[in-house]
């Protein structure tokens, strides 16, 4: 549907579409804005009814109280942040390397049972990670890795979604490019590192985003695989703050901790969003 106004053609269908999408986007953004606003609200604004969406008298008191609450424990709040960065970074880096190394032969080499292995990866996508928790715990406990960073990282490195995503993305890359590198004398490892990995950047960015969000927000590994407070991650620390006695008094501190926790996720998304869209556009194509 279109009309003409002063010699210009107006596409009313597109206008309504973008207006609706903008309104829907603002609606999805509202919880994040409310959480950020709550982090700076004084106590008297946190318990208003009906709730006030935007803060009227911003204060840093909630962040100060957060440091006081965590300062009474044997582990400082900065240690929780450090643990989350180490665990999330290890899962992302390890997951990218394992997924890329698995995707390259599946997409660009022929070997026996190739389709069987790929179908197993696709089948693994159908199952919830919850079904693997007991076998993973038995393997970690019997290998002597409990209460270490390896226990928090190793079970989550082999991600079927990363292997599937990178395999589909590599399939649309031309084989002639790889053959040209081999003719020039490049070894298979050199082809992988110099040619394939740079072209995989969009898929790597997409998987890194999904993997980081999952690892950063998951309290389960630190809850199960460690009994030491100095290995607790930020999600588990926030659960500790929100539980126990004095929950009402900790509402502001919980809002501040949640706000600090969401900042890295937003930063990673802003950095990788363009590559994520590129991956979604090409991962389903074949040469």
For 83-99, what is each residue's pLDDT tens digit?
889 999 999 999 999 99
> Does 243 have pLDDT greater than 50?
yes
Q: CB–CB of 221/152 below 8 Å? A: yes
Contacts of residues 129-135 at CB distance under 8 Å and 24 or more positions apart, as own/partner, are 133/220, 133/224
In a domain, 14, yes or no: no
The tokens describing 62, both together, are 């909630």
pLDDT above 70 as % of the chain: 85
Each residue's pLDDT tens digit, 196-213: 888 888 888 888 888 888
Q: Which of 23-32, 45-54, 94-103, 259-268 has the lowest mean pLDDT?
A: 45-54
In a domain, 5, yes or no: no
Q: Are residues 104 and 28 in the same domain?
A: no
How large is the average pLDDT for residues 171-192?
A: 84
In a domain, 10, yes or no: no
**pLDDT value at residue 97:** 92
Distance in angstroms (rounded) separating the CA atoms of residues 151 and 173: 36
Q: CB–CB of 164/121 below 8 Å? A: yes
> Does 51 have pLDDT greater than 80?
no
In a domain, 104, yes or no: yes
> Does 283 have pLDDT greater than 80?
no
Domain range for 44: 24-59
pLDDT tier for residue 246 given thresholds of 50, 70 and 90 = very low
**pLDDT value at residue 287:** 44
In a domain, 117, yes or no: yes
Nearest one of 198, 202, 205 to 92, comparing CA atoms: 205
pLDDT above 90 as % of the chain: 5
Q: Are residues 179 and 195 in the same domain?
A: yes
Nearest one of 211, 117, 213 to 161, comparing CA atoms: 211
**pLDDT value at residue 70:** 63
Of 206 and 281, more confident: 206
In a domain, 92, yes or no: yes
Of 142 and 67, more confident: 142
> Does 109 have pLDDT greater than 50?
yes
Q: Are residues 188 and 54 in the same domain?
A: no
**pLDDT value at residue 286:** 46
In a domain, 2, yes or no: no
Of 57 and 105, more confident: 105
User: How many domains are there within the chain?
Assistant: 2
Q: Are residues 180 and 49 in the same domain?
A: no
Of 117 and 76, more confident: 117
> Does 2 have pLDDT greater than 60?
no
Q: Are residues 112 and 204 in the same domain?
A: yes
Q: Are residues 215 and 182 in the same domain?
A: yes
Of 207 and 71, more confident: 207
Q: Are residues 48 and 79 in the same domain?
A: no
Distance in angstroms (rounded) separating the CA atoms of residues 34 and 25: 15
Q: Are residues 111 and 29 in the same domain?
A: no
**pLDDT value at residue 98:** 92
**pLDDT value at residue 277:** 62
């Amino acid at each position: 549907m279109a009309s003409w106004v002063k010699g210009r053609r107006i596409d009313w269908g597109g206008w309504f579409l973008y207006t609706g999408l903008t309104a829907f986007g603002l609606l999805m953004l509202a919880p994040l804005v409310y959480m950020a606003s709550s982090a700076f609200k004084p106590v008297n604004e946190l318990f208003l009814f009906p709730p006030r969406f935007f803060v009227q008298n911003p204060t840093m008191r909630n962040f100060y109280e957060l440091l006081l609450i965590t300062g009474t424990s044997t582990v400082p709040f900065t240690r929780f942040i450090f643990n989350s960065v180490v665990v999330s970074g290890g899962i992302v880096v390890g997951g990218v390397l394992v997924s890329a190394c698995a995707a390259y032969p599946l997409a660009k080499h022929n070997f026996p049972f190739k389709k069987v292995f790929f179908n197993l990866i696709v089948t693994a996508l159908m199952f919830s990670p919850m079904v693997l928790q007991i076998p993973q715990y038995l393997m970690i406990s019997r290998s002597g890795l409990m209460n270490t960073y390896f226990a928090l990282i190793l079970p989550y490195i082999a991600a079927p979604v990363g292997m599937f995503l990178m395999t589909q993305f590599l399939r649309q890359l031309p084989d002639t490019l790889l053959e040209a590198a081999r003719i020039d004398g490049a070894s298979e490892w050199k082809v992988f590192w110099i040619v394939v990995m740079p072209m995989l950047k969009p898929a790597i960015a997409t998987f890194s985003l999904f993997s980081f969000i999952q690892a950063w927000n998951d309290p389960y590994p630190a809850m199960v695989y460690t009994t030491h407070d100095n290995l607790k991650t930020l999600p588990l620390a926030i659960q500790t703050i929100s539980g126990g006695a004095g929950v009402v008094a900790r509402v502001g501190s919980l809002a501040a901790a949640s706000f600090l926790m969401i900042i890295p996720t937003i930063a990673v998304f802003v950095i990788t969003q363009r590559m994520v869209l590129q991956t979604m556009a090409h991962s389903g194509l074949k040469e």
